[in-house]
Structures are given as structure tokens and as C-alpha cells.
A and B are shown apart, each in its own frame.
With several copies, the nearest count.
Chain A
Amino acid sequence: MKLIYFAWVRERVGKSEEDLDLPPEVTTVGDLIVWLSGRGENYAYAFEKPATVRAALDRVHARREAVIAGAKEVAFFPPMTGG
């Protein structure tokens, strides 16, 4: 699974993207956040306040309960501040 990070999520994780094999118990966006948070301090820091992190599946905004099977790309980022 391709994971992409933006803005301070990217800075905290320490990379802008990576490819990871997800274990079978990770089925939703919420599961993925929990699993990533256990992978190291950088991830734990990025997701320490999970409510402030948004997600997208294949470039469409996704809620925590969205199923990631079939997606090519999951992105995590802070609330948008464009405009």
C-alpha cells in the first residue's frame, strides 16, 4: 500500500511517502492509524491527536471507518488551510 503524508504529518513521520505491506487485520483507515502509531515514535507523534489528522483514499476524503481494501494510495494530512 502506498502511503503519502503532507504538511506537519509529513514532517513528523519524517518522509513524504512510503510503500508498506499492511497486515490483514488492518481493514479501515482507523485501523491503519492505530497500526502506524505502533510502528515508531515518529508515527506516534504524527497521530498523537488523531482527530486533527484527515485521510484520503485514492485522492478522495475518507472517514475513519472507510475500508482501505482496493485502494492504491492512502494519504494523511492536517485539516486543509488553502483558499
Chain B
Amino acid sequence: MATVRVQREDFDAGLEAAALARGRRDVGAVASFVGYCRDEGGTLAALDLEHYPGMAEAEMARVAAEAEARWPLIGVTAIHRFGTIAPGEQIVFVAVASAHRGEAFAAAEMLMDYLKARAPFWKRAIRADGTVEGWVAAKEADDASAARWGAAEP
């Protein structure tokens, strides 16, 4: 059963990853990922992250369920923040526990690719000079990353 959270506040990635193995003796591998806000060479002051409440959680849960259907996973956690996020801060987290490392890595990477392509979040850049830039355009590379798992278009 996957744990999915959409929240404004920060999270403790180490604690979340360790929780997947705690008290268990059948977990052989935990692969985890944290996406951070970069300052893009000093030009970015913050990101403003809008989301679709309700659908964001539902879509992340669907993505996690697809990973669980594809590989024999023991646990999945996915967390995505919204609101104003400064450079150096955490934005997104996924972790996958399984018996063996191959499926843990593959599932974690698939989760990130799917989250980026399908979870209803939109970033706006606030520049260091105070200007609020337009919305970040989706990268075709992200759709391509999701497509390589054989995904249907969102």
C-alpha cells in the first residue's frame, strides 16, 4: 500500500525512506529520490507551485498503484510539496522498498517520470530581480521519460 502526501510543509526524506524498512526483515533494497529547487545560476529567487487539490493525491496514488502492479514492491512513498519553495529546498520525494535492487531503482525512476508527466502541479518562477515570470513550460523530455515505460498519454 502506497503512502501519498501533498503538503505545503517540508518533509524528512531520510525518515520517510527508513520507515519503509523499519521493523521488517524482508526488505533488501530501498531506492529513494529527492527533487530540490535549483537557483538556476542565481537567477531564481523561488518557485511558486500550484496544484489541483484532490486530483494531485489521486493521480499520485494511481501512479504508485501502477508501479506496484508492475514490480513486486514492499512499500512505496511519494510526497509532493506546493506553495512557495526557495532554492535549496526539497520539492518532491519518492521511495520504493523491495526485496531486490533492480525493481526498487526501476520503480523509483518510473514514479518520478510519471509524477512529472501526470501529477497536476504547475511551477511559476519568481526571479531574483523580483519579476514573476510566466509559468514554466512542460519539457518534451519529461513526456518522453514517461513514455519509455509504455505509458498511455495522460
Binding site for B on A (CB under 8 A): 4, 6-8, 54, 56, 59-61, 63, 75, 77-83
Can you name the residue of chain B whose Cβ is closest to the Cβ of A4? Answer: B52
A83-B121 CB under 8 A given contacts A59-B58, A60-B58: yes
**B119 on the A face (CB < 8 A):** yes
Question: Closest chain A residue to B94 by CB distance?
Answer: A83
**In whole Å, how far is B20's beta carbon from the nearest beta carbon of chain A?**
19
Q: Which of A4, A63, A81 touches B135 (beta carbons < 8 Å)?
A: A81
Complex-state Cα separation, A30 to B117, whole angstroms: 21
- Which residue from B58, B91, B153 sits with its C-beta under 8 Å from A83? B91
In the assembled complex, the CB of B59 is this many whole angstroms from the nearest CB of chain A, namely 8
**What separation, in Å, do the CA atoms of A7 and B143 have in the docked complex?**
19
**Is the interface on chain B under 10, 10 to 19, 20 to 34, or 35 or more residues?**
20 to 34
Neighbouring B residues of A54 by C-beta, 8 Å:
154
- One digit per residue, 1 when the CB lies within 8 angstroms of any chain A CB and 0 when it does not, for chain B 82-102 equals 000000000110000000000
Judge whether A82 and B154 touch: CB under 8 Å. no
Given contacts A7-B135, A8-B134, A59-B55, contact A80 B50 (CB under 8 A): no
Q: How far is B154's CA from A43's CA once the two chains are assembled, in angstroms?
A: 23
Q: List 17 A-B contacts (CB under 8 A).
A: A6-B122, A7-B50, A8-B134, A56-B52, A59-B58, A61-B118, A77-B52, A78-B135, A79-B138, A80-B122, A80-B154, A81-B116, A81-B135, A81-B137, A82-B51, A82-B119, A83-B112
